[in-house]
Amino acid sequence: MTFSQNILIWYAQNKRTLPWRRTRDPYKIWLSEIMLQQTRVVQGTPYYLKFVANFPTVYDLAASSEEEVLKLWQGLGYYSRARNLHATAKMVVEEYEGNFPNTYEGLLKLKGVGDYTASAIASICFDEAQPVVDGNVYRVLARYFGVDIAINSTEGVKYFKELAREVMDTENIRDYNQGIMEFGAIQCAPKKPYCLHCPLNESCVALQGNKIEKLPVKLNKTKVRNRYFNYLVPVIEAKDGDLRTVLAQRKGKGIWQNLWEFPLLECQAEANLEKVKQFLPEILELKDIPEVTPLNEQLIVHKLSHQHLHTRFWKVKTKTDLTNSIPIKNLEDYPVPVLIADFIERLKNSYF
DNA sequence: AACTCGGGGAC
DNA sequence: GTCCCAGAGTT
């Protein structure tokens, strides 16, 4: 029995029932594929269901605002995916009459759709024989064929794509592609794969050579950058007695583009009260002398894959009614990073 | 070719 | 702590 035949049989017997497996609708497949980029199925699934409920068709998504899309995306990370998602929905509606391209080449032109996603949509929706090579496929192929070329090297990317193309089942590409990914996720797992009862164990080069834990090979460990964030949280007592505060939208390059946060003072190291008071006028233009107090004693360390954000929130109590101030009860309407969302959650449970 | 972009779960 | 997830875009 061939490699692909084994994959197809395993898939038929072991596949999970996932919401996007009941359809060939390119819109829904595209949505699921974007959401699952670098994201586990268990984490992405509730977001997929939320999006399908709010935006049943590409027209609904295109008619929404980026702000709404980011709000629904909040917490899923890699927010450029959400911005590209919205831009692509508008493009499909305005330039493609609401129809997604039905070929690999056509799909590649869409923002946020790269080699993997174009292959996935083309094969799943249109039965086009394009191999998918995601993290799961790299692992399965590296182990089964005993390939020790780094999967994230230029040579490796090219080699594994060609290998994937050679061993794919062109007649059953839809099930085969999903099958090899599912096989990698469930059976040929990164750690402690279930080799004992694996249908491919007798011919698996890595297993026979006792190299399961050494494959796949991956280079370049990410180095973490430490950053020191001071969020200045204005607390303004309005005339009606309500509390107001201020949010700012992150612009330009870097993390959390177009998401909202409190006015930020970033320093080279942990800042004390004097430091915050010194630079506060550059962040907030106040007419009075505010009362500034730290809201967390220990720095909150928010960990991203490549940055550690050492964060302190400062209450800035003022009587200046800043322009663009908003009622504190409206804070939850804005798309914010998890770091800010967690803070707002504590705020609800009376932080002041 | 190397870097950047989130957050979370498994270990 | 480490690894990695149904990767893409930029420099």
- Of residues A351 and A218, more confidently modeled: A218
The reply to whether the CB atom of residue A302 sits less than 7 A from any atom in nucleic acid chain B is yes
Q: What is the CATH number of domain A225-348?
A: 3.90.79.10
SS3 for A142?
A: helix
Query: Longest C-alpha distance within chain A, in Å?
Result: 79
pLDDT at A36: 98
pLDDT given for residue A162 in this prediction: 98
Q: Which protein residues have any CB–strand C distance under 7 A? A: A 18, 20-21, 32-33, 36-41, 43, 78, 80, 84, 111-118, 134-136, 138-139, 178, 181-182, 184-185, 190, 216, 218, 221, 253, 305
Nearest nt to A40, CA vs C1'?
A: C5
Q: What CATH fold (topology level) applies to the domain A3-133+149-184?
A: Endonuclease III; domain 1 (1.10.340)
Structural domain spans, chain A? 3-133+149-184, 225-348
User: Please, are residues A236 and A321 in contact by the beta-carbon 8 Å criterion?
Assistant: yes
Is A33 a residue of the active site? yes
Q: Which long-range contacts (CB under 8 A, 24 or more apart) does A99-103 make?
A: A99/A26, A100/A26, A100/A27, A100/A30, A100/A58, A100/A125, A102/A26, A102/A126, A103/A128
Q: Assign A46 to helix, strand or coil.
A: helix
Spatial distance between the Cα atoms of A15 and A176, rounded to a whole number of angstroms = 12
pLDDT tens digits, A86-135:
999 999 999 999 999 999 999 999 999 999 999 999 999 999 999 999 99
Question: Nearest-CA residue to the C1' of B4?
Answer: A254
Q: Identify nearest nucleotide to residue A190 by CA to C1′ distance.
A: C4
Is the CA virtual torsion A300, A303, A308, A313 positive or negative? negative
Query: Tokens at residue A290, please?
Result: 């505010």
Q: Residue closest to C7, CA→C1'?
A: A37
Distance A258 CA to B6 C1' (A): 14
**Average pLDDT, stretch A300-318?**
97
Per-residue pLDDT, averaged over A206-217, amounts to 96
Q: Would you place residue A351 in the very low, low, confident or very high pLDDT band (cuts 50, 70, 90)?
A: low
Query: Helices A135-144 and A173-186 meet at what angle, rounded to 10?
Result: 80
pLDDT tens-digit series, residues A153-181: 999 999 999 999 999 999 999 999 999 99
Give me the CA A157–C1' C9 separation in Å, rounded. 17
pLDDT at A27 (0 to 100):
98
pLDDT of residue A272: 97
Write out A155-217 in H/E/C secondary structure. Answer: HHHHHHHHHHHHHCCHHHHHHHHHHHHHHHHHCCCCCCCCHHHCCCHHHCHHHHCCCHHHCCC
Q: State which nucleotides on strand C lie below 7 Å from a protein beta carbon.
A: 3-9, 11
Nearest in space to A195 (alpha carbons), one of A174, A181, A209: A209
Q: Which tokens sit at A329?
A: 């009860």
* Percent of chain A surpassing pLDDT 70: 99
CA of A82 to C1' of C3 (A): 25
Contact A233, A316 (CB under 8 A): yes
pLDDT above 90: residue A241? no
Per-residue pLDDT for A352 more than 70? no
